[in-house]
Amino acid sequence: MSKATDVVHHGRDPRRQEGLVNTPVYRGSTVLFPTVAALEQATRNPNDGVFYGRFGTPTHFALQDAISRLEGAAGTVVAASGLQAITVAALALLRAGDHVLAADCVYDPTRRFCEGVLKRFGVETSYVRPDAGGDIAAEFRPNTRLVILESPGSLTFEFQDIPAVAQAARERGAWVMVDNTWATPLLCNPLALGADVVVHAATKYIAGHADAMLGTISCNARSFEPVRGMAQALGVYASPDDCFLALRGLRTLDVRLKRHEATGLALARWLARQPEVECVLHPAFAEFPGHALWRRDFRGACGLFAAVLKPVPKAALEAMLDGLRLFGMGYSWGGFESLAIPVPAAHLKSARRQWPHEGPLLRFHAGLEDPDELIAELDAGFARLRTASRSLPA
Ligand SMILES: *Cc1c(COP(=O)(O)O)cnc(C)c1O
């Protein structure tokens, strides 16, 4: 079946829920067993059914099942946030003395977890250029146990060659984890490209309405037991209400993404024509460095992209952004609403890659509003930027 059909049908079974179309929110801690024998059987095999609230309810299982089928995974664990999905998966696959290789564009809190927590437990992390491809082989150490990719980086949009990295890692016995949040399970499936673990901030497009925090960890057959075991050992638990919202978001994910993609492209093309814009970081542009990898490994684009402006006075940029009304300013993305933020310069500096641009980087999330009205608002924003630039020293 196509992904469009799958998102409508996976993760619900009306026959098991009184005929109701949607899997309801099951809230619960204690699960009752009718006999000592049933209690003992469940205690021996806590993952065979509903055992205790922390191990998951039918609401959790429905979402796990749906994401597993969409990602082609042996199993999926849900976590309380996207960041928790990343940290639990890493803890599951690492032990003291190991080394982690991370793409230099990974989500900043991922990097902080490596530096702040893994380091304390005797795991060292080094960073590799996102475009290293198969050359990553030279970066492996005898104790490299995990490679962390985020393709594309959600602030700087570098695509990584997942199959080439996975091949190099497999030859050296290392795991590969991919943060697939940008693509959602609809536009790319890293397990099929050779990864072992795929994480999503379901907070973003899967929930899709800026009203839930949730993460998912989808595993191949080898990684599922260690990941689920670590999640259970740490007491990882996601709210069933947020799982319900994610299941509900999933039903419209395909149509929403198509609109986010179309509007994102319209905005990107318009931005590329503005004299103040140095370049637009959108993978559908033929001149974009990640274009070929994106064409090969992805089935489309979401609505998140960025534009590099030519250098402008900060106050002029503020005049532009502070006056936006349809575009909100704030972190996260993937909801129904448009967003625009200046990417903090600290995120662009790092040891292994040279950020080649001087001007500010603006990240846009194309929401579900009327695209022409969004463009009109950006047009007025650039007019404010021009007026302010003229009256300010550079
Ligand atoms: C937002 C985000 C996360 C973290 O998700 P939360 O649910 O906010 O914890 C992880 N990775 C990427 C790429 C993200 O954009």
Q: DSSP letters along 265-294, please?
A: HHHHHHHHTSTTEEEEE-TTSTTSTTHHHH
Strands of 304-309's sheet in order across: 277-281, 304-309, 361-365, 339-342
Kindly state whether residues 173 and 298 are assigned to the same domain.
no
Kindly state whether residues 247 and 270 are assigned to the same domain.
no
314 is in which domain, residue-wise?
254-391
The pLDDT value recorded for residue 270 is 98
Catalytic residues: 54, 107, 179, 204
Instruction: Print pLDDT tens along the chain (394 aa).
Output: 899 999 999 999 999 999 999 999 999 999 999 999 999 999 999 999 999 999 999 999 999 999 999 999 999 999 999 999 999 999 999 999 999 999 999 999 999 999 999 999 999 999 999 999 999 999 999 999 999 999 999 999 999 999 999 999 999 999 999 999 999 999 999 999 999 999 999 999 999 999 999 999 999 999 999 999 999 999 999 999 999 999 999 999 999 999 999 999 999 999 999 999 999 999 999 999 999 999 999 999 999 999 999 999 999 999 999 999 999 999 999 999 999 999 988 888 765 667 889 999 999 999 999 999 999 999 999 999 999 998 876 5
| Rounded distance between C-alpha atoms, residue 111 and residue 127, angstroms | 9
The pLDDT value recorded for residue 347 is 81
Kindly state whether residues 113 and 224 are assigned to the same domain.
yes
In order of 61, 112, 136, 158, the CA distances from 288 in angstroms are 40, 29, 22, 10
For the stretch 134-139, contacts whose Cβ atoms lie closer than 8 Å and that sit 24 or more positions apart, written own/partner, are 134/161, 134/164, 134/165, 134/167, 134/168, 136/101, 136/164, 136/165, 136/168, 137/168, 137/171, 137/172, 139/101
| Rounded distance between C-alpha atoms, residue 353 and residue 236, angstroms | 35
Look up tokens 């590969």; give the residue: 176
Please tell me the pTM assigned to this model.
Answer: 0.97
| Rounded distance between C-alpha atoms, residue 38 and residue 48, angstroms | 12
Of 253, 250, 238, nearest to 78 by C-alpha is 238
The pLDDT value recorded for residue 180 is 98
> How many Cβ atoms sit within 10 Å of the Cβ of residue 376?
12
Does residue 154 have its Cβ closer than 6 Å to ligand 1? Answer: yes
Q: Quote the number of domains for the chain.
A: 2
| Rounded distance between C-alpha atoms, residue 99 and residue 93, angstroms | 11
Kindly state whether residues 129 and 39 are assigned to the same domain.
yes
Give me ligand 1 centre to Cα 82, in Å.
Answer: 5
| Rounded distance between C-alpha atoms, residue 283 and residue 305, angstroms | 8
Question: What is the helix (H) or strand (E) element at residue 365, kind and residue range?
Answer: strand 361-365
Kindly state whether residues 266 and 197 are assigned to the same domain.
no
Asked if 106 contacts 134 with a C-beta cutoff of 8 angstroms, the reply is no
Identity of the amino acid at 37: A
With 0-12 / 13-18 / 19 or more C-beta atoms within 10 angstroms meaning exposed / middle / buried, residue 358 is: exposed
The partner residues of 100 in beta bridges, in order of sequence, read: 125, 146
Kindly state whether residues 295 and 278 are assigned to the same domain.
yes
Please identify, among 194, 216, 251, the residue that sits at the C-terminal boundary of a domain: 251
Lookup: tokens for 324: 């936006």
Strands of 124-128's sheet in order across: 75-79, 215-219, 197-201, 175-179, 144-150, 99-103, 124-128
| Rounded distance between C-alpha atoms, residue 214 and residue 107, angstroms | 16
| Rounded distance between C-alpha atoms, residue 243 and residue 246, angstroms | 5
Look up tokens 């080439």; give the residue: 164
Does residue 163 have its Cβ closer than 6 Å to ligand 1? Answer: no
The pLDDT value recorded for residue 356 is 86
Give me ligand 1 centre to Cα 211, in Å.
Answer: 14
DSSP 188: -
Kindly state whether residues 315 and 229 are assigned to the same domain.
no
Give me the helix-helix angle, 82-93 and 221-234, nearest 10°: 110
Kindly state whether residues 238 and 309 are assigned to the same domain.
no
Identity of the amino acid at 138: A
Lookup: tokens for 158: 């570098």
Kindly state whether residues 247 and 349 are assigned to the same domain.
no
Give me ligand 1 centre to Cα 206, in Å.
Answer: 12
> How many Cβ atoms sit within 10 Å of the Cβ of residue 95?
10
Mutate to test the pocket of ligand 1, among 150, 156, 157, 203 (most ligand atoms within 8 A of CB): 203
Atom of ligand 1 nearest to the CA of 331: 1
The pLDDT value recorded for residue 394 is 55
Kindly state whether residues 182 and 321 are assigned to the same domain.
no
Asked if 251 contacts 7 with a C-beta cutoff of 8 angstroms, the reply is yes
Kindly state whether residues 230 and 270 are assigned to the same domain.
no
| Rounded distance between C-alpha atoms, residue 149 and residue 164, angstroms | 12
Please identify, among 232, 251, 270, the residue that sits at the C-terminal boundary of a domain: 251
Look up tokens 């806590």; give the residue: 46
Q: What is the b/e burial string over 114-127, where b = at least 16 CB atoms within 10 angstroms of the residue's CB?
A: beeebeeeebebeb
Domain holding 164: CATH number? Answer: 3.40.640.10
**CA angle centred on 353, ends 108 and 355, rounded to 5°:** 85
Mutate to test the pocket of ligand 1, among 78, 81, 83, 159 (most ligand atoms within 8 A of CB): 83
Please identify, among 193, 224, 251, the residue that sits at the C-terminal boundary of a domain: 251
Mutate to test the pocket of ligand 1, among 105, 107, 149 (most ligand atoms within 8 A of CB): 107
The pLDDT value recorded for residue 203 is 98
Kindly state whether residues 165 and 311 are assigned to the same domain.
no
Atom of ligand 1 nearest to the CA of 201: 5
